[in-house]
Amino acid sequence: MPPKRLIFAFLIYAILSGPIARGLSDGLNLNFLATLVVLQSSTLMLMLWLAQKRGWWDAVDTSTITEDSLQKILRNMLAGLAVFLSGLILTIRFGSDLRVSLLASGLTIAGGGWLLHATSRYLVWFAATQQNPALMDERMRANQRISEKWAFVGCVNTAVILGFIDFNGWVPLSGATVGFSTAIAGILAGLFSQYFLEWKDG
Amino acid sequence: MPEGLSNTLREHRQHRKMTQAQLAEAVSVSRKTINTIENGVFTPSTILALKLARVFDCTVEDLFILE
């Protein structure tokens, strides 16, 4: 279980995400949103720096983490994200049908819970790497660098494709749609490539 | 593994009757890393190569051969 201060810092991070998401959907002032994003990113950076400096990671129980845990955690994150996004798309697409809407909401909540659990396990895994450097050795760092590149490629490609679609007027897209899609594509590409590389080395 | 680079890590390990996990623990890396080095998938850093050579009490050139 991560220490309380770490949970508190993540809560601040999550709470700041709410107004950003709400602002994106309501089309709020861009300056206001940019300030929130900067605040949110600063909180995350400060939290990670403090966790490193104060040795909070050492207080985390990492006895359940083995060297094969990362692959399993990444698989769960991908699966959770896939279920979450499926539920979200179904909710938006078939929101008018009550039964489908209920099923889709259930899927979204289940996927979100799955993703949250996997993310908390990822944090525990990160804490384990601070206690045992062998869990994050040079091969895994090399894999991480490759997956960061794939995440960047995913972001750029998605932004270019969506920008091209909007530029040609095929489908009118808002900046929020492009930004959200780019972020999701980057996360998916990064997670999937890291999972694939770990699986390949397995 | 880059073209022309091979290694004798598996032979050295088996000669010492060590498992991949034991060797991994001796040089502070994961078992998967030892496996990928043995299979020629991953090229270790100089530091790791020197650590491996120290475990087997040999030179790096005995472990890694540029053909």
Selecting from B30, B41, B45 the residue whose C-beta is nearest the C-beta of A134 gives B30
Instruction: Please report residues of B whose CB lies closer than 8 A to that of A201.
Output: 32-33, 35-36, 41-42
Q: Do residues A134 and B30 make contact, with C-beta atoms less than 8 angstroms apart?
A: yes
CA distance to partner chain A, nearest, from residue B50 (Å) = 14
Q: What is the signed CA dihedral for A146, B13, A72, A6, rounded to 10 degrees? A: -80
Establish if A98 touches chain B: CB-CB under 8 angstroms: no
Q: Do residues A193 and A155 make contact, with C-beta atoms less than 8 angstroms apart?
A: no
Give pTM, 2 decimals.
Answer: 0.73
Establish if A141 touches chain B: CB-CB under 8 angstroms: no
Residue A141 burial by Cβ neighbours in a 10 Å radius (0-12, 13-18, 19+): exposed
CATH code, residues B5-62: 1.10.260.40
CA distance to partner chain A, nearest, from residue B67 (Å) = 23
Q: How far apart are CA A67 and CA A65, in angstroms?
A: 7
The residues facing B7 across adjacent strands are B64
Q: How far apart are CA A172 and CA A163, in angstroms?
A: 10
Instruction: Please report residues of A whose CB lies closer than 8 A to that of B30.
Output: 67, 134-135, 137, 139-140
Q: How far apart are CA A175 and CA A146, in angstroms?
A: 28
CA distance to partner chain A, nearest, from residue B4 (Å) = 20
Establish if A128 touches chain B: CB-CB under 8 angstroms: no
Q: How far apart are CA A139 and CA A124, in angstroms?
A: 20
Helix axes A30-54, A4-26, angle to 10 degrees: 170
The distance from CA A41 to its chain's CA centroid, rounded to whole angstroms, is 13
Going by C-alpha positions, the residue among B16, B28, B4 that lies closest to residue A131 is B28
For B7-63, how does the pLDDT look when each residue is reduced to its tens digit (9 = 90+)? 999 999 999 999 999 999 999 898 889 999 999 889 999 999 999 999 999 999 999
Q: Which residue has tokens 């694939």?
A: A196
H/E stretch holding A116 reads helix A98-131
> CB under 8 Å to A182, separation ≥6 — which residues?
A155, A158, A159, A162
User: Backbone phi, then psi, for A61, in 5-degree steps?
Assistant: -75, 110
The distance from CA A27 to its chain's CA centroid, rounded to whole angstroms, is 23
The predicted complex's ipTM stands at 0.82
* pLDDT tens for each residue of chain A, 202 residues long: 555 666 666 666 666 666 666 665 565 566 666 666 677 667 777 777 777 677 776 777 778 888 888 899 999 999 998 998 888 888 877 777 778 888 888 888 888 888 888 888 888 888 888 888 788 889 989 999 999 999 999 999 999 999 888 888 888 888 777 888 888 889 889 989 999 998 988 7
Selecting from A133, A139, A200 the residue whose C-beta is nearest the C-beta of B33 gives A139
